[in-house]
Amino acid sequence: MRQQLVIVGAGPRGTGLLERLAANAPELYAGPGLDIHLVDPHPPGGGRIWRQAQSPLLWMNSQAEDVTMFTDDTVAMAGPVREGPTLHEWARLDGRTFPDRRTQGRYLRWVYERAVADLPPNVTVHHHPRRAVRVDGPREGRQRVWLEGRPDPLRADLVILTLGHLDGEPDAEQAELSAYAREHGLVHLPPDFTADSDLTALAPGEPVLVRGFGLAFVDLMVLLTEGRGGQYEGETYRPSGREPVLYVGSRRGVPYHSKIGYDWTGDRPPLPRFLGPAEVAELLARPAGFDFRRDVWPLVEKELGFAHYHRLFTAHPGRTAMAWADFEEKYAAAGDPAETRALVAAAVPDPADRLDLTALDHPLEGVRYASHEDFQEGLRGYIEDDLRRRHDPAHSPDLGVFLGLLSVYGQLVRLGDIGSWWHGFFSYLASGPPGPRLRQMLALSRAGLLRFVGAGMTVTAEDGVFRATSPTVPGFSVEARALVEARLPEPTVRRARDSLLRELHADGAAETPDGLLRVDPGDGRVLDRAGRPHPRRFALGPYTDTRAPGAFTRPRTGGPAFRQNDATARAVLAFLSGSLVKELAR
Ligand SMILES: Cc1cc2nc3c(=O)[nH]c(=O)nc-3n(C[C@H](O)[C@H](O)[C@H](O)COP(=O)(O)OP(=O)(O)OC[C@H]3O[C@@H](n4cnc5c(N)ncnc54)[C@H](O)[C@@H]3O)c2cc1C
């Protein structure tokens, strides 16, 4: 009797898991044969986000040299390392290129095909191009996975859910805005995957309010400009005449910081230093739990400050007034933020060289412009400064902070669900757009097709229109018949559009207060509300509370997602082999 494993979701995570199944099977799987059923309406490898059927204008937000699907000896895992090319090696690209999404999709497809080829001969993969709608079955017995449009379920000894980014039902505010739009003949596009949105209702020349200035905005901007036939000639945008006029704003009112455009040289900051495994263990051991702002953020600040000053003192000592060894000792001993500030004031003469995370987080706080046009000019200046700074190694403490952010991210993953604020802050500083995208923003702004609204943007639905205002330009408001929410949906397990997850929850699976699916941090087994791991159901990815970075792994960085994939693959293979031994003994 062949055994059956069902994996729902064949994007990067499902593919990475398959790679680990192939790597571990020779050691751990000795069964009569295994059928692996991959369920995904999109082709395996790229899955939904990296599929070939999408605009070639959409780019990755990673440089090609920073993307690998293969393990190396920095990954602390029980399974074997199987080395393979990074994206830039495979695609023969300059490592600093930001490839388009379809190129990454081809790499992922190749990884998928290699993993399938590497499986032992008695393991076979079948792809089912459908959605899975329900998993049921007894705790101790075979599971059934029901697919859309198929009367009979797949039978499964084990089920693994690698569902990735989910669509969500609109929350109360979004539902109200959509209802208002329907009543008044307006257009409202709620949070969605921009590549999948129907943008045809956004008419040429018409103003469109856009809430959100992150990566979803960049996709939207590209599809509504070059995607409608416009072209860049150097620094100038030549419109096609089919573009709407985008009025963009957000809480911060500025785009995410540009990607840094130079390489690291010299000594790396010795990280982690103030937020490492010991601090994480201490936080987790607190009987009353921890509060992010009170208990975790001060450690984050200390760590990022350490990374910043380490770089400033070692690479730009002329801009400091103390020896690094002295500073380091006093910095470590400083008990509270006031003491740290006093130390920094004494050791770093130019305030521009001091790290101020609060100011970075709110660049337009208290800033006022007399007119909308003045603000356009002002924000173009801000973006130009950011581009200059992010491409000038004289500001290399920024790169120190970037390494600090990566280190902190890796540690905070172990704390489980810490809410969404940190993820937004991380993305704003460390995961912003490639420089060329910001240059395109400048060109579109000069062409009058992109208009900045300001910080703390509010949108009202009144008088049959949407109206946006911001305290950045007192007295200014803009009316439009279209409103786009430029951000990804933030579904909770209960509000996921996906019936599979909702049913799993109804069947006893636990969720965190923030709506993430609770899983065993060891091997990814789905937990019930009593904290018991389900013997036959596993889940991995951004909708679970392990929240390993959703992003692709950089080579030689330990890869928490690889570690998790390996642990799950080994648990699955051991289970299948163990249950076989028991069945044979019967
Ligand atoms: C628009 C976008 C751009 C990104 N760009 C980058 C980037 O440039 N660099 C980077 O490092 N990271 C990027 N990311 C982060 C992203 O998390 C990872 O790149 C990666 O795609 C996550 O892989 P995944 O397999 O967990 O999820 P996904 O890529 O979402 O794949 C999940 C798969 O599961 C399938 N699925 C879900 N539910 C069901 C169901 N019920 N039945 C059947 N199939 C189902 C979906 O069709 C999908 O193919 C981006 C994310 C998004 C949303």
Task: Map 244-303 to HEC letters.
Answer: CEEEEECCCCCCCCCCCCCCCCCCCCCCCCCCCHHHHHHHHHCCCCCCHHHHHHHHHHHH
Domain co-membership, 330 together with 293: yes
CATH code, 157: 3.50.50.60
Question: 22 CB contacts (<8 Å, ≥6 apart)?
Answer: 82, 115, 116, 118, 119
Distance 21 CA to ligand 1 centre (A): 20
Using a 6 Å cutoff on CB, does residue 244 contact ligand 1? no
Nearest CA to ligand 1 atom 49: 47
Distance 428 CA to ligand 1 centre (A): 20
Give the residue, out of 58, 61, 87, 163, with the most ligand 1 atoms within 8 A of its beta carbon, to mutate for a pocket test.
Answer: 163
Integer Cα distance of 393 and 306 in angstroms:
18
Domain co-membership, 14 together with 71: yes
Question: 564 CB contacts (<8 Å, ≥6 apart)?
Answer: 524, 540, 546, 548
Name 100's bridge partners: 59
Domain co-membership, 7 together with 100: yes
Domain co-membership, 212 together with 317: no
Nearest CA to ligand 1 atom 24: 164
Please identify, by atom number, the ligand 1 atom nearest to the C-alpha of residue 193.
1
Give the residue, out of 42, 49, 55, 565, with the most ligand 1 atoms within 8 A of its beta carbon, to mutate for a pocket test.
Answer: 49
From 459, 485, 511, give the residue that closes a domain: 485
Report the Cα–Cα distance between both ends of the chain, in Å, rounded: 14
**What share of residues in the chain are helix, strand, coil (percent, to 5)?**
40, 15, 45
Using a 6 Å cutoff on CB, does residue 243 contact ligand 1? no
Are the beta carbons of 585 and 101 closer than 8 angstroms? no
Integer Cα distance of 431 and 360 in angstroms:
14
Domain co-membership, 195 together with 98: no
The pTM assigned to this predicted structure is 0.94
The count of structural domains within the chain is 3
Using a 6 Å cutoff on CB, does residue 40 contact ligand 1? yes
Integer Cα distance of 462 and 180 in angstroms:
9
Identify which of 322, 269, 332, 329 has the alpha carbon closest to the alpha carbon of residue 299.
332
Integer Cα distance of 187 and 371 in angstroms:
28
Please identify, by atom number, the ligand 1 atom nearest to the C-alpha of residue 501.
41
Domain co-membership, 532 together with 452: no
245-to-209, 434, 494, 571 alpha-carbon distances in Å: 9, 23, 36, 53
Q: Which domain holds residue 320?
A: 277-363+392-430
- 3-class DSSP assignment, residue 374: helix
Q: Does some domain include residue 205?
A: yes
Domain co-membership, 99 together with 121: yes
Nearest CA to ligand 1 atom 10: 551
Name 86's bridge partners: 68
Distance 322 CA to ligand 1 centre (A): 47
What is the average pLDDT value for the chain, to the nearest integer?
Answer: 95
- The answer to which of 147-151, 200-204, 291-295, 554-558 has the lowest mean pLDDT is 554-558
Predicted pLDDT at 586: 44
Are the beta carbons of 562 and 553 closer than 8 angstroms? yes
Domain co-membership, 157 together with 223: no
Nearest CA to ligand 1 atom 28: 164
Please identify, by atom number, the ligand 1 atom nearest to the C-alpha of residue 550.
17
Using a 6 Å cutoff on CB, does residue 131 contact ligand 1? yes
The pLDDT tens digits of the residues spanning 17-71 come to 999 999 999 999 988 999 999 999 999 999 999 999 999 999 999 999 999 999 9
Using a 6 Å cutoff on CB, does residue 60 contact ligand 1? yes
Question: 361 CB contacts (<8 Å, ≥6 apart)?
Answer: 252, 425, 428
Predicted pLDDT at 547: 65
Using a 6 Å cutoff on CB, does residue 397 contact ligand 1? no
Q: Does some domain include residue 520?
A: yes
Phi, psi for 8 (deg, rounded to 5): -100, 120
Q: Does some domain include residue 378?
A: no
From 485, 505, 527, give the residue that closes a domain: 485
Are the beta carbons of 98 and 434 closer than 8 angstroms? yes
Q: Does some domain include residue 381?
A: no
Look-up: residue for tokens 């069964």? 31
- 3-class DSSP assignment, residue 547: coil
Q: pLDDT band at residue 582, thresholds of 50, 70 and 90?
A: low
The pLDDT tens digits of the residues spanning 225-242 come to 999 999 999 999 999 999
Q: What percent of the chain has pLDDT over 70?
A: 98
Domain co-membership, 291 together with 408: yes
Predicted pLDDT at 578: 87
Name 68's bridge partners: 86, 553
Are the beta carbons of 420 and 490 closer than 8 angstroms? yes
Q: Does some domain include residue 144?
A: yes
Domain co-membership, 352 together with 213: no
Using a 6 Å cutoff on CB, does residue 163 contact ligand 1? yes
- The answer to which of 128-137, 246-255, 526-535, 556-565 has the lowest mean pLDDT is 556-565
Question: 307 CB contacts (<8 Å, ≥6 apart)?
Answer: 269, 271, 400, 401, 403, 404, 407
The pLDDT tens digits of the residues spanning 352-397 come to 999 999 999 999 999 999 999 999 999 999 999 999 999 999 999 9
Q: What percent of the chain has pLDDT over 90?
A: 87
Phi, psi for 206 (deg, rounded to 5): -80, 140
Please identify, by atom number, the ligand 1 atom nearest to the C-alpha of residue 14.
25
Please identify, by atom number, the ligand 1 atom nearest to the C-alpha of residue 164.
27
Domain co-membership, 247 together with 344: no
Question: 447 CB contacts (<8 Å, ≥6 apart)?
Answer: 236, 237, 239
Q: Does some domain include residue 377?
A: no
Q: Does some domain include residue 270?
A: no
Distance 367 CA to ligand 1 centre (A): 38
Predicted pLDDT at 580: 55
Q: Does some domain include residue 271?
A: no
Using a 6 Å cutoff on CB, does residue 547 contact ligand 1? no
Domain co-membership, 403 together with 460: no
Chain centroid to Cα 92, Å, comes to 25
C-alpha angle with apex 155: 152 to 160, nearest 5 degrees? 120
Identify which of 509, 490, 296, 485 has the alpha carbon closest to the alpha carbon of residue 408.
296
Identify which of 184, 247, 178 has the alpha carbon closest to the alpha carbon of residue 212.
247
